[in-house]
Structure 1
C-alpha cells in the first residue's frame, strides 16, 4: 500500500477539532465534567456542525491505517501484540494517572466533595465502585482507545478468516462492488438511517463498552469501511467524484438539525415526527460529511509536508492529555470572574500549551514514550545499516 497523506491530514484535523469540541463542551448546556458560568443556548449550533461525524471519521481513518499496519506486520499475532501495546498501555496509564483529575473536579463542583485531589486519588478513585453516580475508576474520554482496541481484535479475527490471497481478493471485490459509484453513499446511509431512525431513535451513547449498541452500530462499520477502503481504488475514485453531492447532503442534514434545535429550544417537547426527522437528518449529515471530507483529502490533501510526520505522531499524546487540561484549567478559572470569551481563549491556549508540553516531554524520555502512545525509540544502528521501514 502507498501511504495516503490525505488520510493523515484528516486524522490530524479530526483530532484537532475534537479538542476544540471538548473546549466548547464547557460552554454548552450539555452535561460535562465542569461547566463555565457562561452557558448559552446558541453555542450548541456550531457544536452540532461537528457532533454527527467527528468520531465516526476517526474510526474510518483508524480502519484505513489498520490495513497498512497489517501489511507491514510479521503476521496477525505480531500485529495484535503491537496494537495491544500501543493502545492498552496508554489506556491503563491514562485511567490510573491522566483521567483522575476529571472525576475529582466533577465531584467537587457538582457534588460538594471537600477532599483534596491526592486524598481522592489515593482513597476513593481505585475503589471500583460508584461515587455520586460516577463509576470509579473510569476511562472518560479514553473510551475511544478501548473501543478501537476491541474493534482491532475483531478485525484480526476477520483477517484470519480471509488470510489467503484468494480470500483477500474476494473480500476486496465484494467491497468494491458494494461501495462502487453511488453505493458509497447509498449503502452506508441506508444503514445509518436504520440505526438512527428505526433501531435507536434519539438514543445516547454510554461509552461503557457493554450494552452501548448505538455506538457499536455507528463505529464498528465505520472502522471496517476504512479497512476496506484502504485497498479499493474504485471506491476512492467514487468518493472523489461524489464528494460535492455528499457536501450538499451534509449541509442539508445540518440545516434540518438547526431548524429542529431553533424550533424547539430548551425543554420544549418536539412532536414525534420531528424527532424522527431530526434523527434522519443526523444520519445524512454524518455520512455526507465523512464522504465529503475523504473526497477533499483525496483531491487536495494527498501530498506530504515536512510538519506532517511530527503532527501525525503528536495527535495521540495530545488526545490522551487534552481533556484533563481542559477540565483542570476551567476549574481554576471558575473563581476568576472572567468573561466567556476570555475563558474560551485561555482554555484554547492552555490546552494547546499543555498538550505540547506533554508530547515533547514524554517524547524525550524513553520510558515515558509507550505510556503516552509513542513507539519506543529504535536502538542506534551503524551509519551504513539501512533503516527498516
Structure 2
C-alpha cells in the first residue's frame, strides 16, 4: 500500500475514538452505578446497553494514548525538542489548565444541582485527566524519541525496528500490557482516570504508538496481513469474557483482549481510511474541542431528558443527539471563529 505523507487513517481513528467516548459517557447515565463515578443517572436504567459498552471500554482509552504517541512522531519531524515542548504545552497543557478551572467545574455544578447538593466551585481535572497524562509522557519520553529519530540507522534502533515490524513485536506488546495489569493489579481494569494503572497503561500505549509509526511501512503491512486474525481473536476473547467470566475477568486477560482490539482497529483503518476527505478535515479539527466541552452538554441533556416519561432507548438517543448538536454548535459558531478562544481548546490561532 502506498503511504501518504499524512496518515489520514490515524486522524480518522482519533475522530472515531472521540465519537465512541461520547457514546460511552452517555451510556453511563443509564447504569445504576453511574452516580458513584460522578454521572447524572436516569431511573430508567438500560442494563443490556452495557454489553457492547464493556467491549469498548477496555480499548477506547488505550487507543487514544496510542494515537497521541503517533502524533508526537509526526510532530518531531520538523521541530527541535524546544519547539516541540512549546507546541505541546500550548496545545495540551493550556487546554488542560483551562478545562481544570473553567470547564470541569461547570458540569460538576450541574451534577450538584441534580442531586440537590450545595453548589460549590470545584476545580478538577475530571475527564481531562487524559491531557495531563499526555503532557507528562511527552516531557518524560522526549529525549528517547529524539534519539530514535536521529539514530535510525544505528544497530540498536535498526534491531528494534525489525522486532516491532514482525509478529514478535506483537508478542512484546502483549507481554508488556499483560505485565502492567499483573504488576499494578488494579481493582478494576477499566478504572483509568487518575489511577496509577491508567498512568502506566497510558505510558505504554503512548510509547508503542510512537514506535509503531517510527518503525515504518513494514509494521503496517504486517498488521494488514493479520487484520482478520486479530479481530477474530478479539471477538473470541470478548465472547468468552461475557459468557464465562461476565464482569469478573482477570486483568491480564482484559489487557490481551484490549491489545487485539486495538491492532485490529489500526489495521482496518490503515486499509480503508487512509485517504483525505472534507469530512475528516472538519472533524479532525472539531474532535479536540468537542472532547473538552462534551460533559457540560451531556449533563445539560441529562437534566432535560431524564425526567421525560419515555423509554430508556429513546432517552439515550435524545441525550446523545443533544450532546452532539450542542458541542458542534458551540464549536462551529464560537470556538473555531474566535481567535482568543481557539488556543484554550487546543486549536492553533488563525
Give the structure-1-normalised TM-score.
Answer: 0.82
Residue of structure 1 equivalent to 2:72: 66
Secondary structure of the corresponding residue to residue 278 of structure 2: coil
CA distance in 2, matches of 1:261, 1:98: 38
Residue of structure 1 equivalent to 2:344: 371
Residue of structure 1 equivalent to 2:111: 106
CA shift, 1:169, in A, is 4.6
Residue of structure 1 equivalent to 2:175: 190
Secondary structure of the corresponding residue to residue 151 of structure 2: helix
CA distance in 2, matches of 1:323, 1:177: 43
CA distance in 1, matches of 2:299, 2:157: 44
Q: Which of 69, 79, 85 does residue 80 from structure 1 map onto? A: 85
Residue of structure 2 equivalent to 1:288: 260
Residue of structure 2 equivalent to 1:156: 142
Secondary structure of the corresponding residue to residue 214 of structure 2: coil
1:76/1:293 CA distance change after superposition, 3 Å: same
1:352/1:201 CA distance change after superposition, 3 Å: closer
Residue of structure 1 equivalent to 2:200: 217
Residue of structure 2 equivalent to 1:317: 289
| Aligned ranges 1:10-21 → 2 under 5 Å | 10-21=13-24
Larger radius of gyration: 1
CA shift, 1:41, in A, is 2.6
CA shift, 1:139, in A, is 1.4
Give the structure-2-normalised TM-score.
Answer: 0.90
CA distance in 2, matches of 1:166, 1:261: 46
Question: Structure 1, residues 65-120: CA drift from partner, whole Å, max 9, x if none?
Answer: 111111122x110110011011122112212222113222333344x31x5xxxx3
- Consecutive unaligned residues of structure 2, counting only runs of 5 or more, are none
CA distance in 2, matches of 1:43, 1:198: 31
Q: CA RMSD in A?
A: 2.2
1:140/1:201 CA distance change after superposition, 3 Å: closer
Aligned residues: 341
1:261/1:71 CA distance change after superposition, 3 Å: same
**Is the CA contact (8 Å cut-off) linking 1:99 and 1:139 kept in structure 2?**
yes
CA distance in 1, matches of 2:284, 2:198: 26
**Is the CA contact (8 Å cut-off) linking 1:64 and 1:226 kept in structure 2?**
yes
- Consecutive unaligned residues of structure 1, counting only runs of 5 or more, are 126-135, 265-274, 378-389
CA distance in 2, matches of 1:330, 1:182: 46
Secondary structure of the corresponding residue to residue 100 of structure 1: helix
Secondary structure of the corresponding residue to residue 337 of structure 1: coil
| Aligned ranges 1:202-351 → 2 under 5 Å | 202-203=187-188, 205=191, 207-208=193-194, 212-232=195-215, 233-260=217-244, 262=246, 275=248, 277-351=249-323
**Is the CA contact (8 Å cut-off) linking 1:197 and 1:280 kept in structure 2?**
yes
CA shift, 1:26, in A, is 0.8
